[in-house]
Amino acid sequence: MTDSNPNASLTAPSIHGDALPPVEQHAQQYATVRNAHETELIEDYVELIGDLLTHRGEARAADIANRMAVSQATVSKMIRRLNELELVTSKPYRSLFLTEAGQKMAETSRARHDIVLHFLRALGVKDATARIDAEGMEHHVSDETLDIMQRFTEQQQKS
């Protein structure tokens, strides 16, 4: 018996409210998540570098390592990748800078992050929790949902 057997559900009736989505849609969901995973670390680094540049004036590997709770070696390796992707420019032993593409990515990421964070706070989530959740959620929120979150937050603030 395979997944496409149309009678299967007759022999094993659902006790759940939600049935399984069609295979193609289901596959799409997982593929989208896998895809997000490939870019999200990159985005986190770029976003953090952008934040450090904005708030501190420079972005050093040691700061990134501390804030990400990761070894300096890991950061160094990652910076090489970011360089290859032309998201940052770096001279050995010097502060990092974002390329134009990097800046664009940092801004987009930061904006998404803020929308999610503010939305969670508007929902009534405690700040510390909201920050943790936002960090994890931001890469998995579609533009459509992001839009709705933003409107919700604005509504909330009016009242």
Binding span for a copy of itself by CB under 8 A among 58-66, 73-81, 84-92, 96-104: 58-66
With beta carbons less than 8 A apart as the criterion, state whether 120 and 134 touch.
Answer: yes
Instruction: Report yes or no: 59 and 52 within 8 Å, Cβ to Cβ.
Output: yes
37 binds a copy of itself (CB under 8 A): yes
Q: Which of 117, 118, 112 is nearest to 156 (CA)?
A: 118
- The minimum distance between CB 30 and a copy of itself, in angstroms, equals 5
Residue 112 interacting with a copy of itself (CB under 8 A): no
Convert 32-74 into a string of H (helix), E (strand) and C (coil): HHHHHHHHHHHHHHHHHHHHHHHHHCCCCHHHHHHHHCCCHHH
CA separation for the pair 86, 67 (Å, rounded): 23
Indicate the Cα dihedral angle 23, 24, 27, 28, nearest 10°: -150
Query: What's the chain's length in residues?
Result: 159
Q: Does 73 bind a copy of itself (CB under 8 A)?
A: no
Contacts of 129 (CB under 8 A, 6+ apart): 120
Residue 34 found at the interface with DNA (CB under 7 A): yes
47 touches a copy of itself by CB under 8 A: no
The whole-angstrom separation of Cα 156 and Cα 159 is 6
Q: Which is nearer to a copy of itself, 83 or 121 (CB)?
A: 121
Q: How far is the CB of 50 from a copy of itself (least distance, A)?
A: 10
Residues within window 65-94 making contact with DNA, judged by CB under 7 A = 65, 69-81, 90, 92-93
User: Which parts of this chain interact with a copy of itself (CB under 8 A)?
Assistant: 1-3, 5, 8-9, 11-12, 14-21, 23, 25-33, 36-37, 44, 51-52, 54-58, 60, 62-63, 66-70, 110, 114, 117, 120, 123-126, 128-133, 135-137, 139-142, 144-145, 148-149, 152
User: Which parts of this chain interact with DNA (CB under 7 A)?
Assistant: 1-2, 34, 38, 41-42, 60-63, 65, 69-81, 90, 92-93, 95
